Structure 1
């Protein structure tokens, strides 16, 4: 997630997640249930996670999202309720979007970010991935050189690190790339997508996308790196275009990428469709700048970053990934997924192409009396100050409280007065039901190192609750790869 050295630019960027002085409420209403019940509190022993998952020298993290404006029209509140372990709560059926609660024709996507710096501090290796529960793995992040060439951000982690059985003299791709390619061979429904950019390197998109030559260099080199590494598509994580000109250039960049992917497929993998996806914001100051209709012509899936709605930049505690806005608790629900989703659907984006983001981390607030209340300081965190891995939550002595009215969970310890906003199995299941009621395309998680193993895994819980997962097969043949183990499959 976010390196401490990036906190200042994060705070400056988070304006999309913080109410602007001149922003007006969205006209989209939030159809919260009138018949919800509130959950019961469950106290758990803390399960501690790993150390900070950041690279030793590569600051390639990002704040995952900005958030949407508040929206009127929610039902009257009920007292927050105790959380259950079963996660049986469900949102009401909805007629919004395409509606109907049907799954995509090819099955739901269960998408997971894997960071190439997670092998260091977090000690999260490719072998730790729940490959049988994931349909698309977003390998994060590739960097961009000044001329637009897409390059490895960490050659050691990507292709040089030696795992058991690797040697440095075979001409093979070692490192994470070699390990993940081996996972593809064992799990033929696992598609791996090269994610380019991310928070730190997003400014590099601006000059590259501004010229036809830059776009061509970007697209051709992205496809080459994808093929060298034996991947199944490209993901663009540009945070964020800030003008109509940049928005138009983003569309042109996607067009160039789509054409390059199709040209490569025609030559080297006839009949295979390489995916092109984007990470997309939940904050109006960002998504209202983008030409969503223009982008949609080239995009296979939109990964909606539906988190970071609250954090250390706020003056009060709040839910960081709530589904709905509640006018009775406006300070706790400044933004909501429902408002952002309503906007995307209104722009003509097909619901089955939108993939709902969920966090595998929590945002901490100290010295507070509860949700929507003032606070002072943030917790120590397992990623950085203020950010805990989900696998380190709830903290010892904290109680989890799930609010069905807004579709959000937090934990609170009255002794330490620390509140943490995050998802657990119950809230993730609630969001899965919401996603299905809206006929969305699936779920996407930031990021793998934060998840729990076993019964507490959110990736596994959501996979099971979605039921039918995308069963399209990956590709194993890359005759032009520079690496023998990938070229010779």
Structure 2
């Protein structure tokens, strides 16, 4: 998706070329471009390529400037760009003279709020930090989320996952719709790497577009794929047709539109309303190979990749050079969009790409950091994205927080950040996103697209900034479902306009003519607002409160919708009339709010009328709902039940648009996605301001009801067994022991429930449904079982690289003490993990405890191996806890197999210790033969006169077989998501970006007698650590002994801990396997076949 966009124009004019190269020639010195005439000058057309030509005489111009097709490749330029008098295509004055392009213009300010598309990078879960699982996405900020990417198998033409593990994410991704029913989830197929020349899929798009048989296979596979996983549409990201350097073929130009037509027909034949979009580049070089006029007839919209306009690739391009330029330059974006306007593309079918990341450079001269200065290379790689020349929004935020200098480039509409003496990056924040949104609205664009939603920070700050501009707040509380049983809400429409799609005017039941219900409050003379409701939930309405002395009040069974001094009749001399409608499911939420404070003396001066107990003020106004007698003193308050049915609210005076508006001349319009709740002329010389909110979503929302039903099912029978687990389970082998009774949920329902709880705990879904679900969780499960959403969230923070759904499932399967365990772990970690320079045993609490005795009485359902300290066997609960396994090790029930030091592919240091399990009580499946512990270590530190290893994380897992390696066979630990799923026992830190304040665990450092006042978790780990040290399993000799690890050590001069020593592997990747009394010699230098990704 974020592929390199090489340059804006494919060629420059002949005049430009003349200044850049030698344009003289001869019979033996051919022209670089053009024909050589007998005058010794290069050029095109009959004067150069005709009778006077002496070399390269068969060359033709790109276009025909008037000298005939005999001398030209084409009569006109692609995309209707201009043909210069020299026969080259382009868009600047050198090509077009004084000709200009008319861009679409819109007076309203919300066209781009129609769509907000976010791309989700599936590989974001593999980052070393800032991982983004689907449940972490702020879904309320988006109308569409695209999963990036799926590939196409080059042999079978079936849809295929881009990476191993993507299939496990598909339903988690589409399941987000259960938290936000208006969200659509699409699959994006392709991406930059699919067409890389060295990939087996390089020509797959071309092969597919050119073969009816291949298309039939692909369509069948795609439809099955979308139905299986619940995708709502498909985005085709072909980068790029025709272009030779991108594996394209000339026939792609005609084949691509035909392929898309066939795809649309196949999707339509299913009876589903599947969506179809494609991505397009912003560079002329690549866009010229898209027949955008024909393609527009078939698709729903174009996603324009208006980012990556510049990057490190510029340094090798003679037309751009190594100059500092923004990768989202608004001036160049405007030029790119002109290519579409030249071809009369409907702007509503164009979605503008925005970047939640930046392109970074290393400055050639630290004193020269303005655009136009040069760079020597890409900027330093970020700690999480780990890519030279690119930083995520989250990484840029941290750079800024560290004191970087930030400047606004108004011409490019970007922020420029400089730091570290020679680092430079451009990116978009709330200020520059507004500039781009204002531009989008001015030119009537049909939406915005983000690459990538998964490069946002943990709080969703970039999405929140965008949501504020689109009117789709991060708390997007107005979601209405497309499902048949969803109850849509009534709303007041805009002045002089028809009802929104799907709604119709409510009917009056009073007066002679009756007819449509509405109010003229807040509207220009001769206009009114219709009261719009869903056809299947249509109330009847009437004005109450007779003139001239009005005291409008609704009757029982009615709700007050609006107010007016006249309604549809005579004017009130005092008081006001109210519009009352029969209460039904579509307007029930209106009854949850009411205006308080009676004119003329509404409250004390400069004060607001108070709300009754149980309600809080959402806003205040002189005029109440708008058509009421105004206050002389104080203000009326709009008081609502909690949580309020209206959210995402604010006062708007120009429909959300400010630029170009006349001050104090108010339009009273609401931004897209909002409806008017009240109007007030205060502050306006003419017109009204509107209090606009997202339409209320009723509490009988079917998504909330379904969530509550599933949660109640689990509460009735809150027991998990291994086969129930979707994220912490391990497949394979028959059970060897009887299991606890299963809960009453089907596997798909259980998976959906875990996804929803995870998203609720993270708290960034930002939808009304999620707020209601959170309340249901706390009432139905959290309070009786002692586990809050906050505790689940904190457990994610305790192990930031662990799959969040796995953590949720583990806690839900632990029963009533899960919340206590989260609290215990956090209290224990602060005592077990210490600074490397602290004195041994400092600031510790103490008393003794017996591991088995202290664990035996506490009933706790276990997680998978290692994630509960409770000593519970497989026979008791189906999965042995790490507490039980440690008991077996310490009590001599297990046999040590080997120890081995490994320097992993990710550069981490692991001590692997393997024990053989003696019986079924230590197994989950019959195939389990060993238990493996990985101790992630960094250094040796002197602790009270003893050099002890500093360990920052511990994981454990079962193993079933040996895996072949280059020299020494190890137990196979590659099944991270199945047989060898890791259990996370300790996480002092992530092991990256260590500082003087980073904490570690030092085995043997804390005596058992010092832990009795600590939680059981600390007691178990301390006892295990002392055992490992006393048995010489984890000591200095383990790492440096001549018959064991054989590592050497060194110190850092700048290390504040002068006694700390780091390990030198001497070019080796792993030690031989050894035991404390064994005889191991030599070290293999090559790595083995295991990735050793423990997610720490």
With normalisation by structure 2, the TM-score equals 0.32
Q: Partner residue of 1:340?
A: 336
Q: Does the alignment pair 1:387 with 2:390?
A: yes
> Once superposed, what is the RMSD of the aligned Cα atoms?
3.1
Q: Partner residue of 1:428?
A: 433
Map of 1:120-199 to 2, 5 A cutoff?
A: 120-121=126-127, 122-147=130-155, 149-154=157-162, 156-159=164-167, 175-199=168-192
Distance 1:311 1:353 in 2: 28
The alignment partner of 1:290 has SS state of coil
**Residues 484 and 281 (structure 1 numbering): CA distance in 2 closer, same or farther, change over 3 Å?**
farther
Distance 2:90 2:328 in 1: 13
**Residues 14 and 338 (structure 1 numbering): CA distance in 2 closer, same or farther, change over 3 Å?**
closer
Q: Does the alignment pair 1:96 with 2:103?
A: yes
8 Å CA contact 2:355–2:451 kept in 1: the answer is: yes
**Residues 350 and 158 (structure 1 numbering): CA distance in 2 closer, same or farther, change over 3 Å?**
same
Deviation at 1:408, TM superposition (A): 2.3
Map of 1:196-345 to 2, 5 A cutoff?
A: 196-202=189-195, 203=202, 204-242=204-242, 245-264=251-270, 266=271, 269=272, 273-314=273-314, 315-324=322-331, 336-345=332-341
The alignment partner of 1:124 has SS state of coil
Deviation at 1:308, TM superposition (A): 0.8
Deviation at 1:460, TM superposition (A): 2.1
1:129-165 per-position Cα deviation (integer Å, ceiling 9, x unaligned): 1111111001111111124623232575333xxxxxx
Point out where structure 2 has 5 or more consecutive residues left out of the alignment. 16-88, 95-100, 196-201, 243-248, 315-321, 486-745, 753-1096
Q: Partner residue of 1:91?
A: none
Which of the residues 480, 485, 489 maps onto 2:748?
Answer: 485
Which structure's CA Rg is the greater one? Answer: 2
Which of the residues 344, 350, 372 maps onto 2:346?
Answer: 350
Q: Does the alignment pair 1:461 with 2:724?
A: no
Between 149-158 and 208-217, the greater mean CA deviation after superposition: 149-158
**Residues 109 and 471 (structure 1 numbering): CA distance in 2 closer, same or farther, change over 3 Å?**
farther
Distance 1:213 1:474 in 2: 35
Deviation at 1:473, TM superposition (A): 5.0
Which of the residues 445, 462, 482 maps onto 2:450?
Answer: 445
Deviation at 1:125, TM superposition (A): 0.3
Distance 1:475 1:443 in 2: 26
**Residues 18 and 189 (structure 1 numbering): CA distance in 2 closer, same or farther, change over 3 Å?**
same
Distance 1:473 1:117 in 2: 30
The alignment partner of 1:260 has SS state of helix
Deviation at 1:320, TM superposition (A): 0.7
8 Å CA contact 1:230–1:476 kept in 2: the answer is: no
Distance 1:472 1:189 in 2: 6
Aligned residues: 376
The alignment partner of 1:118 has SS state of helix
1:56-100 per-position Cα deviation (integer Å, ceiling 9, x unaligned): xxxxxxxxxxxx988569xxxxxxxxxxxxxxxxxxxx9722533
Distance 1:261 1:116 in 2: 25
1:277-307 per-position Cα deviation (integer Å, ceiling 9, x unaligned): 1111000011111100110111101111001
8 Å CA contact 2:5–2:282 kept in 1: the answer is: no
Point out where structure 1 has 5 or more consecutive residues left out of the alignment. 3-9, 26-67, 74-93, 160-174, 325-335, 478-482
Deviation at 1:181, TM superposition (A): 2.9
Distance 2:175 2:256 in 1: 33
**Residues 148 and 436 (structure 1 numbering): CA distance in 2 closer, same or farther, change over 3 Å?**
farther
8 Å CA contact 2:153–2:160 kept in 1: the answer is: no
The alignment partner of 1:313 has SS state of helix
**Residues 154 and 407 (structure 1 numbering): CA distance in 2 closer, same or farther, change over 3 Å?**
closer
8 Å CA contact 2:124–2:132 kept in 1: the answer is: yes
The alignment partner of 2:378 has SS state of coil
Distance 1:279 1:400 in 2: 32
Distance 1:24 1:407 in 2: 31
Distance 1:115 1:416 in 2: 32
Q: Does the alignment pair 1:363 with 2:359?
A: yes
8 Å CA contact 1:147–1:208 kept in 2: the answer is: no
Distance 1:155 1:466 in 2: 33
With normalisation by structure 1, the TM-score equals 0.70
Deviation at 1:250, TM superposition (A): 0.9
**Residues 251 and 23 (structure 1 numbering): CA distance in 2 closer, same or farther, change over 3 Å?**
farther
**Residues 471 and 218 (structure 1 numbering): CA distance in 2 closer, same or farther, change over 3 Å?**
farther
